[in-house]
Amino acid sequence: DPSEIERVMKTAPVIPVLVVKDVGKAREQAEALVEGGLKVLEVTLRTPDALEAIKRMNLVPGAIVGAGTVTNVRQLKQAQAAGSEFIVSPGLTQSLGEAALSSGLPFLPGIANAGDIMRGLDLGLTHFKFFPAMAAGGIPALKALSGPFGQCLFCPTGGISAKTAPEWLALKNVLCVGGSWIVPEGADLDEIKARAAEAAALAG
């Protein structure tokens, strides 16, 4: 049901992309993000503690915690077992797409070109992560793709910053953007909360 991923995408203008290295800090970082106004949190499965981080962040009231960097069916199952409320992938394969649809979880697969989008449409998907957004051509590329694929809605991610996020959010087929700039390595909780509040105030 595309309305479920749309609800996730419309919750806040920015989805923080998190690379959790210290699971001991996961819960308090999630609290800082939610207090700052960003409820949707994408925990990338790139670190050994990512699944445990998803479990701990899920304990934070109001947080909507999903798994990112899900590249195959095995990771999808692990992410679901850890309590992920949505799934983000950097790209789209038929096997992952079919498994994600049958999991019942809201799914945001990465696309970078027309062929990727067409594979998604074949599966019944209309909501995509545009990744890597800057390297794949930036705003001109997404605008060009919106011609033939006007029915699709996007969350551009990859190379987006606090400074450039508003330009992306101004596009009518962009519901939110993703980025790791909200939680830079070594940032303390006050800084995370301030960055989240700045991002949450952007027009979605």
**Catalytic site positions:** 42, 129
Distances (CA, A) of 138 to 8, 16, 156, 159: 23, 19, 9, 9
Residue 44 or 58 with smaller CB distance to ligand 3PG: 44
Residue 91 near ligand 3PG by CB under 6 A: no
Residue 58 or 180 with smaller CB distance to ligand 3PG: 180
Bridge partners, residue 155, by sequence: 129
Candidates 80, 84, 89, 157: give the one binding ligand 3PG (CB under 6 A): 157
Residue 49 or 102 with smaller CB distance to ligand 3PG: 49
CB of 61 to ligand 3PG, least distance (A): 26
Write the secondary structure of the chain as one string of H (helix), E (strand) and C (coil).
CHHHHHHHHHCCCEEEEECCCCHHHHHHHHHHHHHHCCCEEEEECCCCCHHHHHHHHCCCCCCEEEEECCCCHHHHHHHHHCCCCCEEECCCCHHHHHHHHHHCCCEEEEECCHHHHHHHHHCCCCEEEECCCCCCCHHHHHHHHHCCCCCCEEEEECCCCCCCHHHHHCCCCECCEEECCCCCCCCCHHHHHHHHHHHHCCCC
Binding segment for ligand 3PG (CB under 6 A), chosen from 53-61, 76-84, 177-185, 194-202, is 177-185
Residue 159 near ligand 3PG by CB under 6 A: yes
Size of the residue set binding ligand 3PG (CB under 6 A): 13
Residue, CB closest to ligand 3PG: 180
Candidates 5, 12, 14, 17: give the one binding ligand 3PG (CB under 6 A): 17
Residue 109 near ligand 3PG by CB under 6 A: no
In the complex, which residues of this chain contact ligand 3PG (CB under 6 A)?
Answer: 17, 44, 68-69, 131, 157-160, 178-181
